C-alpha cells in the first residue's frame, strides 16, 4: 500500500489535459475501486487505537482528491468552451452547403461574357439617378406619354431625383465621358412603378448595350444581335425584328427569337406563334448623340436593352418572376449546376 504522502504527491502531480485524463483521475482516486476507497477497506486491519487517525488521514486525502477533481473539471470545462467558441469560426460545419449563384447573376454573367468576347466592355453606375440621365438626355420630351411607360419612384422633395427605369442612363454617362468608338454593355438593377404580378415586378435587371463609331449601320446591329442570340439559345436560332417605338432610337425595333423549345413549330412557351420576344433595339437618335456631346454627322450607332428576368424565365422555363426575389432556397438550389 502506498503511503499517504505518496498518494498526495500523485494527486498533486496528476496532469489533466482532456476529458479522458479527467476520467482516469476519477477512476484512480475517487471511484469505488479507487486506491483511496481500498484504503478505507484497510481500516479493519489497523490496530484499534490507530484507526481514528488513519480514518482522518484518508478523509483528508479524499477531500484533497475531490478538490483537485473539481478544479480540473472547471478549468477543463472553461477551456473546452473557449475552444468550441473559436472552432465555430474556423471549422466548417458539416451541414453547411456551399450555396450557388443566384439565377439572375448567372444570366447577367452569361450575357456579359458573350458581349465581352466581341469587344464590348462593361460599365456600371448609380441606381439612384436624375431626370437628365434617365429621360431628358434620351430624348423623352417633358410631357411625352413615353414617360408614363416608364413611370418610376420619385422623391417628393426633389422631383429631379429618381430610381432609374433602365440602364440607358449609363449609356448617357458613357457618351458624356468619352468620344467614339464606344462599345459598352450596362448591366444593372432597374425600377418601375408597376404592380407586382407573375409577369411584372417593380424591380428587375437589365443588360443594355451601345455601339457608336463611324458608319455603324442597322445591318451591324442585326448581325451583333444574331450572334448574341445564337450563342445564348443555340446555333439554329433565327431572329426577327418588328418595328417599334423608343424616344432614343430611330428606327426602333423589338427583336424576337425563333422559339428554341419547339424550333418554331409552336408550343406553350411561344404561345403557338413560333417566336419569343427578347429585347428592344434601334439606331441611336441623333438628338441623343448631340445631347451627349457627340457629333451626329460623323458618328452613328445602335443600342439594345434586354430584361434579365425575362431571359432567365425563358431559358430556365419558370413562369413567375416573383420567384427570383423571394429567395426561397428550394428554388435557388436548383440552379447549382448552372453556376459553372
Binding residues for ligand PHE (CB under 6 A): 166, 168, 208, 246, 249, 280-282, 303-305
Closer to ligand PHE at the Cβ: 171 or 258? 171
Instruction: Find, among 157, 279, 283, the residue nearest to 207 by Cα.
Output: 279
C-alpha cell at 138: 434620351
**Whole-number minimum distance, CB 332 to ligand PHE, in Å?**
26
Neighbouring residues of 202: CB distance < 8 A, sequence distance ≥ 6: 153, 191, 192, 193, 194, 195, 196
Name the residue nearer to ligand PHE (CB basis): 103 or 188: 188
The upper half-sphere exposure of residue 115, i.e. CA atoms within 13 Å in the direction of its Cβ, equals: 25
CB of 81 to ligand PHE, least distance (A): 57
d(CA 13, CA 93): 37
Cβ 326 to ligand PHE shortest distance, Å: 24
Least distance in Å: CB of 87 to ligand PHE?
50
> Residue 172, SS3?
helix
Give CA–CA dist 172/175, Å, rounded: 5
Output 233 or 302, the one with its CB closest to ligand PHE: 302
**Closer residue to ligand PHE, CB minimum distance, 1 or 200:** 200
**Distance in Å, CB of 161 to ligand PHE, minimum:** 19
303 CB-contact burial (10 Å; exposed 0-12 / middle 13-18 / buried 19+):
buried
36 vs 289, beta carbon nearer ligand PHE: 289
Q: Alpha-carbon distance 221 to 227, whole Å?
A: 10
Q: How far is the CB of 333 from ligand PHE (least distance, A)?
A: 31
Residue 268 CB contacts under 8 Å (≥ 6 apart), including other chains: none
Give me the DSSP letters along 249-279.
EEEEEEEEEE-TTTTTS--TTTTTSSEEEEE
- Rg, the chain, Cα only: 38
- Asked whether the CA dihedral 217, 223, 228, 229 is positive or negative, the reply is positive
Q: Which residue is nearest to ligand PHE (CB)?
A: 305
Nearest-approach distance from CB 236 to ligand PHE, in angstroms: 26
Amino acid at each position: 500500500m502506498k503511503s499517504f504522502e505518496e498518494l498526495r504527491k500523485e494527486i498533486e502531480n496528476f496532469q489533466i489535459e482532456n476529458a479522458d485524463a479527467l476520467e482516469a483521475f476519477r477512476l484512480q482516486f475517487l471511484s469505488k475501486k479507487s486506491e483511496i476507497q481500498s484504503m478505507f477497506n484497510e481500516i479493519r486491519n489497523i490496530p484499534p487505537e490507530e484507526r481514528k487517525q488513519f480514518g482522518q488521514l484518508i478523509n483528508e486525502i479524499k477531500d484533497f482528491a475531490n478538490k483537485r477533481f473539481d478544479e480540473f473539471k472547471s478549468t477543463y470545462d472553461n477551456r473546452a468552451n473557449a475552444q468550441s467558441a473559436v472552432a465555430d469560426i474556423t471549422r466548417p460545419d458539416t451541414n453547411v452547403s456551399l450555396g450557388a449563384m443566384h439565377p439572375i447573376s448567372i444570366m447577367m454573367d452569361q450575357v456579359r461574357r458573350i458581349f465581352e468576347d466581341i469587344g464590348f466592355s462593361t460599365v456600371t453606375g448609380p441606381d439612384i439617378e436624375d431626370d437628365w440621365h434617365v429621360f431628358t438626355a434620351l430624348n423623352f420630351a417633358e410631357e411625352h406619354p413615353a414617360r408614363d411607360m416608364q413611370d418610376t419612384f420619385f422623391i417628393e422633395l426633389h422631383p429631379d431625383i429618381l430610381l432609374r427605369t433602365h440602364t440607358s442612363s449609363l449609356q448617357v454617362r458613357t457618351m458624356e465621358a468619352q468620344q467614339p468608338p464606344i462599345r459598352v454593355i450596362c448591366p444593372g438593377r432597374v425600377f418601375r412603378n408597376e404592380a407586382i404580378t407573375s409577369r411584372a415586378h417593380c424591380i428587375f435587371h437589365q443588360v443594355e448595350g451601345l455601339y457608336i463609331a463611324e458608319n455603324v449601320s442597322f445591318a451591324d446591329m442585326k448581325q451583333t444581335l444574331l450572334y448574341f442570340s445564337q450563342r445564348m439559345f443555340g446555333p439554329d436560332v433565327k431572329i426577327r425584328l418588328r418595328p417599334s417605338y423608343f424616344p432614343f432610337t430611330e428606327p426602333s425595333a423589338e427583336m424576337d427569337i425563333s422559339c428554341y423549345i419547339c424550333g418554331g413549330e409552336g408550343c406553350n412557351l411561344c404561345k403557338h406563334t413560333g417566336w419569343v420576344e427578347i429585347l428592344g433595339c434601334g439606331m441611336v437618335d441623333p438628338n441623343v448623340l448631340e445631347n451627349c456631346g457627340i457629333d451626329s454627322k460623323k458618328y452613328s450607332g445602335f443600342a439594345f436593352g434586354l430584361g434579365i428576368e425575362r431571359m432567365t424565365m425563358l431559358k430556365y422555363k419558370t413562369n413567375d418572376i416573383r420567384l427570383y426575389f423571394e429567395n426561397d432556397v428550394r428554388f435557388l438550389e436548383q440552379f447549382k449546376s448552372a453556376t459553372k
